[in-house]
A and B are shown apart, each in its own frame.
Chain A
Amino acid sequence: MIIHQLSVFIENQGGKLAEVLGVLKAHEINIRAMAVADTSDFGILRIIVNEPEKVQHILRGAGFTVKVTPVLTILVTDQPGSLFEQVDRLSAAGVNVEYVYAFAATSAETARVVLKVDNLPLAERLLNSEGRPADPYQDETGTVPNFYW
């Protein structure tokens, strides 16, 4: 499934991450997933939130540099090799994974993995069996919510 990730520029110094998190808390925004890529002088905070467009405006308004990036999210089962199979499918097709992070999903048997790839449409087709586009995400009641999971 393709979802929209928010990236936020943070300088590599004390208190910068807390500033971003403080803004999110003040607006009662729940972080579904996050990862930080760091270099010696800056970091990129990547987060998955509900209503990424809205959160982007909030963060911009608070003076942060923000970017919305479409990324791929997949579900993996709680057993060895589950992620390998899917990533291997991408590699075989020549899709390059730029970065990846994983986090526990709501159930104990699965985990979610976010992948930034250089060919999103192809990657999505490869990881959806039979190559058909993904069904829109639905919750237990069959409605499409305005958030990811």
Chain B
Amino acid sequence: MNTYWNKPAETMAREEMANVQAGRLKEIIARLYRQQPFYRSKMQTEGLLAEDIVTLADIEKLPFTTKQDMRDNYPYGLFAVPMSEIIRIHASSGTTGRPTVVGYTKRDIGIWSEVAARSLVSAGLSRQSCIQVAYGYGLFTGGLGIHYGAELLGASVIPISSGNTARQIMLMKDFGTTALACTPSYALYIAETMREMGIDPRETSLKAGIFGAEPWSERMRLEIEAQLGIKALDIYGLSEIIGPGVAIECCVQDGLHVHEDHFYPEIINPLTGEVLPDGEKGELVLTTLTKEGMPMVRYRTRDLTVLYREKCACGRTLVRMSKVLGRSDDMLIIRGVNVFPSQVESVLLGIGETSPHYQLIIDRKDNLDFLTVLVEVTDEMFSDEVRGLEELEGKIKAELASVLNVSAAVRLVGPKTIERSEGKAKRVIDKRQL
């Protein structure tokens, strides 16, 4: 017996879905053209009028929106309603220190809660569930996104946020938590801490995990499921589009159902921008069909995946995307936080006259990510006193922490230490085995 949160939407016939999408697309483009200067000028540059967008196929005429556009229009330049209509603001890391900002109207929060509730039900949760939300609460969308979905569903929510692992485990036992929502790497860390505390995960009531905010492999899923004795499900989302709940794995665990009546997905070749057919791997591009506060048209997510539209064994007809297979840019996700190498560069530029060569080394110890930044000491940064160099190290460390929102170890190294290829330093070494 399959249960759905919103059966009509989740099991709609493909043709009907296409009609709904086309209608909503037309509507949102007309609205943006009318009242959003950024999108209007972008369309005018392409020689497009709102009425040129009639069918779903017409979406390919529209230009892409990128993270760079969000940076150029920081903070509120992409909002499509007056600030009086905005009831919530979230933000995530931008490419160089400037965060990407997202605004939600009351209706947007409603839509977000709806898709999050759908996601939780797809993952096998119900009103009877007790959900421990161990994603961070705050500007990051993870915590509040799942929280609102769980409340709408009517489950019991434990808004514990991230960190303080021993306490997480104690409350998990005492409160009878049935579902855990956090990053997959944190889930593994919780499992490990349980073992250290001498607690068998089977002593808890834990049945399911809703894990997202970072890419994880099938191998990691098997490990989490074995260690915690649960079903581990992948949830996908990004703040630019709405937050967690854009797509979710159902209990069949064969791809993530995209809530495409709200978020229209396309796959493109990241190099040429050409739209690729179903079944081909490429970059996911999403258009929000219903958002008011900050609609996004053909937003390039930089996440690589594959789309397929066959009906799923769970009964849902929603298009599925594979687990994220990688990135088409250099963004890294460290402990669930987006980190760009260029952010490190901007910090180092702020410290010296010239930017030294640097390298990010990411490793995973005890299921936690560790970031080390190697910095080649330039003559101008160098000091003949140990104290001088230690102050420099401390300064870099503090600046990095404030810009990246994740702590990094800093190691000063000699010139030419960092491996060069074609004269360029290799910026990132990711040793994590997902």
Residues of chain B lying within 8 A (CB to CB) of residue A11:
413-414, 417
* Chain A residue at minimum C-beta to C-beta distance from B389: A42
* Chain B residue at minimum C-beta to C-beta distance from A68: B384
Interface residue stretch chosen among B97-105, B332-340, B375-383: B375-383
CB pair B413–A5 under 8 Å, yes or no, is: no
CB distance from A116 to the nearest CB of B (A): 7
Confirm or deny: B394 has a beta carbon within 8 angstroms of a beta carbon on chain A.
no
* Chain B residue at minimum C-beta to C-beta distance from A42: B412
Residues of chain B lying within 8 A (CB to CB) of residue A64:
414-415
CB pair A37–B386 under 8 Å, yes or no, is: yes
Confirm or deny: A65 has a beta carbon within 8 angstroms of a beta carbon on chain B.
yes
The interface residues of chain B, by DSSP majority, are classed as: loop
* Chain B residue at minimum C-beta to C-beta distance from A11: B414
CB pair B412–A9 under 8 Å, yes or no, is: yes
A39 to B410, CA, bound (A): 14
CB pair A41–B384 under 8 Å, yes or no, is: no
Confirm or deny: B218 has a beta carbon within 8 angstroms of a beta carbon on chain A.
no
The interface residues of chain A, by DSSP majority, are classed as: strand
Confirm or deny: B385 has a beta carbon within 8 angstroms of a beta carbon on chain A.
yes
Within 8 A of B (CB), among A12-65: 16, 37, 39, 41-42, 44, 46, 60, 63-65
Interchain CB contact (< 8 A) of A67 among B382, B411, B412, B417:
B382
Confirm or deny: A99 has a beta carbon within 8 angstroms of a beta carbon on chain B.
yes
Confirm or deny: B416 has a beta carbon within 8 angstroms of a beta carbon on chain A.
yes
Interchain CB contact (< 8 A) of B411 among A7, A16, A41:
A41
CB pair B385–A99 under 8 Å, yes or no, is: yes
CB pair A63–B416 under 8 Å, yes or no, is: yes
A63 to B387, CA, bound (A): 23
Knowing A11-B413, A39-B390, say if A98 contacts B385 (CB, 8 Å). Answer: yes
Residues of chain A lying within 8 A (CB to CB) of residue B413:
11, 42
Residues of chain A lying within 8 A (CB to CB) of residue B417:
11
CB pair A67–B414 under 8 Å, yes or no, is: no
A142 to B384, CA, bound (A): 33
Knowing A9-B377, A65-B379, say if A16 contacts B414 (CB, 8 Å). Answer: yes
Q: 28 pairs across A/B with beta carbons < 8 Å?
A: A7-B382, A7-B383, A7-B384, A9-B412, A9-B414, A11-B414, A37-B386, A39-B386, A39-B389, A41-B411, A41-B412, A42-B412, A44-B385, A44-B389, A46-B384, A63-B414, A63-B415, A63-B416, A65-B377, A65-B379, A65-B382, A65-B414, A66-B382, A67-B382, A67-B384, A98-B385, A116-B384, A116-B385
- Pairs of residues from A and B, 6 with the lowest C-beta to C-beta distance, nearest first: A7-B384, A69-B384, A65-B382, A65-B377, A63-B416, A37-B386
Measuring CB to CB, which residues of chain B are less than 8 angstroms from any residue of chain A? 377-379, 382-387, 389-390, 411-417
Measuring CB to CB, which residues of chain A are less than 8 angstroms from any residue of chain B? 5, 7, 9-11, 16, 37, 39, 41-42, 44, 46, 60, 63-67, 69, 98-99, 116
18 further A-B pairs in the complex, CB-CB below 8 A; given A63-B414, A67-B382: A5-B384, A7-B382, A9-B389, A9-B412, A11-B413, A11-B417, A39-B389, A44-B384, A46-B384, A63-B415, A64-B414, A65-B378, A65-B382, A66-B379, A66-B382, A67-B379, A98-B385, A116-B384
